[in-house]
Amino acid sequence: MKFFIDTANVQDIKKAYKIGVLSGVTTNPSLVAKEGVKFEDRIEEILQLVPDVESVSAEVTPDAVSAEEMIEQANELIKINNNDKNITIKLPMTLAGLEACRYLAHKGVKTNVTLIFTVNQALLAARAGATYVSPFLGRLDDISEDGVQLVSKVAELFRTHSLDTQIIAASVRHPDHVTRVAMAGAHIATVPFSVIEQISKHPLTDQGLDKFAADWQKSVK
Ligand code: E4P
């Protein structure tokens, strides 16, 4: 399973990129709004920061409702990146989003269909040619449904029908989500930097380091 970082924060992207675990970035309108910057400017900045990752997801804005409006925005976003391949157009799981997805997939543009909450939605998106689908597990857990189970079922479905759409486990909130979606067959987990930090740590690692440091003081120099 690969890691994408789920943020529009430049410092967090730099930190994750530096440690060499990053295969991509996902953003959404809420994450960009939190940064208080212009959407296109931030996407351009991110693309420059991580030029060699597989994918940077830029989501069409909520005012693009029809497929035509989404495609128009997608064309503008693609231009930001000089038509390089790592920009991924993130589209909502609506009928118009699927139509835009099919159109863009035919043009060779990567797509990420977002706000997936059922296996059927994932199947539709895959059939519309999505490069990625994003099931939101944390938000399902929030309403007492099992988000990881959705990821597991989508993975099984894609294997059964030989669909090559990749699953991005999204709305990942804590380390246990990461382990469980990896075991469930997600191709990617998109996570905030705080989760990357958390999964790098263990109290016994810290204790071990303290002991090495204490013993090292006593060693012959
Ligand atoms: C995914 O692409 C979304 O940006 C994200 O994972 C949503 O997470 P949240 O439910 O924590 O907002």
In the chain, what percentage of residues exceed pLDDT 90? 95
- Separation of CA 136 and ligand 1 centre (Å): 7
- Report pLDDT for 24: 97
The closest-lying atom of ligand 1 relative to the alpha carbon of residue 192 is 6
Residue 156 and residue 149 in contact, taking contact as beta carbons nearer than 8 Å: no
- Strand, helix or coil at 62? coil
Structure tokens at 67: 């497929």
In the chain, what percentage of residues exceed pLDDT 70? 99
pTM value > 0.90: yes
Tally of CB atoms within 10 A around 80: 17
Separation between Cα atoms, residue 16 and residue 203, nearest integer Å = 21
Separation between Cα atoms, residue 220 and residue 118, nearest integer Å = 62
DSSP notation for 77-99 = HHHHTTT-TTEEEEEESSHHHHH
Q: Using a 6 Å cutoff on CB, does residue 26 contact ligand 1? A: yes
Separation between Cα atoms, residue 16 and residue 50, nearest integer Å = 10
Separation between Cα atoms, residue 161 and residue 138, nearest integer Å = 26
Encode pLDDT of 177-211 as tens digits: 999 999 999 999 999 999 999 999 999 999 999 99
Q: Are strands 188-191 and 2-6 parallel, antiparallel or unpaired?
A: parallel
DSSP notation for 143-180 = TTS-HHHHHHHHHHHHHHTT--PEEEEBS--SHHHHHH
- Separation of CA 206 and ligand 1 centre (Å): 30
- Separation of CA 169 and ligand 1 centre (Å): 9
The answer to whether residue 90 is catalytic is yes
Q: Using a 6 Å cutoff on CB, does residue 28 contact ligand 1? A: yes
* Mean model confidence pLDDT for the chain: 96
Encode pLDDT of 167-178 as tens digits: 999 999 999 999
- Separation of CA 142 and ligand 1 centre (Å): 13
In this structure, which residue's CA is closest to atom 5 in ligand 1? 171
Encode pLDDT of 1-27 as tens digits: 999 999 999 999 999 999 999 999 999
Encode pLDDT of 101-129 as tens digits: 999 999 999 999 999 999 999 999 999 99
Residue 144 makes CB contacts below 8 A (sequence gap 6+) with none
Separation between Cα atoms, residue 89 and residue 52, nearest integer Å = 17
Q: Using a 6 Å cutoff on CB, does residue 6 contact ligand 1? A: yes
For 146-155, what is the mean pLDDT?
Answer: 98
- Separation of CA 210 and ligand 1 centre (Å): 36
Give the pLDDT band (50/70/90) at residue 152.
very high
Q: Using a 6 Å cutoff on CB, does residue 59 contact ligand 1? A: no
Q: Using a 6 Å cutoff on CB, does residue 138 contact ligand 1? A: yes
Q: Using a 6 Å cutoff on CB, does residue 4 contact ligand 1? A: no
54-65 in b/e form (b: 16+ CB < 10 A) is: bbbbbbbeeebe
- Report pLDDT for 82: 66
The helix, strand and coil proportions of the chain, stated in percent and rounded to the nearest 5, come to 50, 20, 30
Among residues 90, 201, 211, 221, which one is catalytic? 90
